């Protein structure tokens, strides 16, 4: 079985000097490719350096994370545009709106999100969306851009089936499913039953959101099979089917 982890911050300092070992462990677990979502200028170099050591396995992206939007947002956005010309990347992300951590820079978050949607369109790249307590705001902005073809993934999806149907009308959108699926009482466990497998991507969000049975430890890409197993159980299908279809989905969206 082959899997793809579509959201992994393996370059995070939580891995200190163990990021290469984590890549090897993932490949041994069948996770042959990993998308590395960008955060901001402070993490970018670590991401590209790691990705360069594993060019057939790790696929970096570029984007300013909504929780990193503050006073210096213009400089940060400039840095994104500058890096665009200097590195091969596979998506714009992670970008979006986060009303959970802070609303202090909400207007700037919206502006930064819009600019990055335009960059994705111009560069013909998919978008990785981070949405926290902001689904409505994000859908409204995507609606404003409905005239531009858009594609991407709602990472760590926690929305409803209805919201998924809204998304379907706005472009070529997938939802990212991770460790939360394995938690007791997670509403997404019911929601996934009504979302076609052809629209689902697997992700860990390493080092966060560790799936059961490793909950409480640092998350890593090699744990993807635990998420796939739970998804197979919820949908009443074989894990091999989950592996095959979600891998095809990721390859199609990110062109890897």
Contact residues toward Zn ion (CB under 5 A) are 37
**Nearer Cβ to Zn ion (93/225):** 93
Listing from the earlier edge strand, what are the strands of the sheet with 58-60? 3-5, 31-36, 58-60
Minimum CB distance to Zn ion smaller for 37 or for 159: 37
Helix (H) or strand (E) holding 250: helix 239-254
Q: What is the closest distance, in whole angstroms, from the C-beta atom of residue 175 to Zn ion in the complex?
A: 15
Q: Which is nearer to Zn ion, 1 or 41 (CB)?
A: 41
Cβ 205 to Zn ion, closest distance in Å? 5
Interatomic CA distance for residues 17 and 50, integer angstroms: 11
Q: How far is the CB of 150 from Zn ion (least distance, A)?
A: 20
Closest approach of Cβ 65 to Zn ion, in Å? 7
Closer to Zn ion by Cβ: residue 37 or 211: 37
- CB of 38 closer than 8 Å to CB of 93: yes
Residue 152 near residue 35 (C-beta atoms within 8 A): no
d(CA 166, CA 159): 11
CA distances from 25 to 9, 29, 99, 164 (A): 15, 6, 35, 33
């Amino acid at each position: 079985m082959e899997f793809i982890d579509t959201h992994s911050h393996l370059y995070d300092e939580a891995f200190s000097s163990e990021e290469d070992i984590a890549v090897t462990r993932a490949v041994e677990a069948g996770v042959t490719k990993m998308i590395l979502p960008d955060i901001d200028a402070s993490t970018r170099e670590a991401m590209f350096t790691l990705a360069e050591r594993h060019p057939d396995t790790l696929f970096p992206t570029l984007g300013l994370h909504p929780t990193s939007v503050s006073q210096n947002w213009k400089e940060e956005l400039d840095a994104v545009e500058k890096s665009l010309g200097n590195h091969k990347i596979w998506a714009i992300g992670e970008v979006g709106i986060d009303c959970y951590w802070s609303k202090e820079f909400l207007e700037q978050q919206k502006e930064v999100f819009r600019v990055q949607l335009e960059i994705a369109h111009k560069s013909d790249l998919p978008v990785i969306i981070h949405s926290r307590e902001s689904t409505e705001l994000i859908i409204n902005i995507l609606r404003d851009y409905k005239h531009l073809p858009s594609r991407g993934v709602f990472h760590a999806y926690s929305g409803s089936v209805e919201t998924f149907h809204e998304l379907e009308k706005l472009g070529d959108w997938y939802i990212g499913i991770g460790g939360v699926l394995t938690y007791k009482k997670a509403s997404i466990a019911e929601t996934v039953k009504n979302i076609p497998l052809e629209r689902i991507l697997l992700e860990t969000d390493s080092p966060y959101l560790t799936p059961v049975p490793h909950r409480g430890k640092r998350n890593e890409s090699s744990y993807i099979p635990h998420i796939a197993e739970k998804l197979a159980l919820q949908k009443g299908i074989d894990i091999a089917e989950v592996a095959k279809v979600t891998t095809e989905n990721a390859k199609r969206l990110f062109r890897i």
